[in-house]
Amino acid sequence: MSEILLSLNLLAFLFHNVLDLANDIYQKVRESLGTRKRFFNDIRALLNYVWFQSWNNLFIFILTEGEERETVNTS
């Protein structure tokens, strides 16, 4: 069990490093939020309340602070 958890942890670390090197939007979001802890806390909070079709949509939402999101008529 511990080997599986270690493998998943290393895979996640590798995934974040690849994103950090290759994805411009991810790099901008990380720069704007500062620490990794804040980055993951913000993602966790957003995913509790808003559904996104892709990671890029989530990152754009964070960068624009929700300005491009359509309002939903609840009436």
Averaged in consecutive runs of 10 residues, what is the pLDDT profile of the chain (75 residues)?
93 87 87 88 91 88 74 54
How far apart, in whole angstroms, are the C-alpha atoms of residue 38 and residue 40?
6
**Residue-level pLDDT at 70:** 58
**Residue-level pLDDT at 10:** 94
**Residue-level pLDDT at 20:** 82
Tokens for 30? 């990380």
Q: Dihedral (C-alpha) 60, 62, 65, 71: value to the nearest 10 degrees? A: 70
User: Pick from 32, 41, 70: which is nearest to 53 by CA?
Assistant: 70
**Residue-level pLDDT at 40:** 87
DSSP of 27-53 = HHHHHHH-SHHHHHHHHHHHHHH---S
So where are the chain's domains?
2-64
pTM above 0.85, yes or no: no
**Residue-level pLDDT at 45:** 92
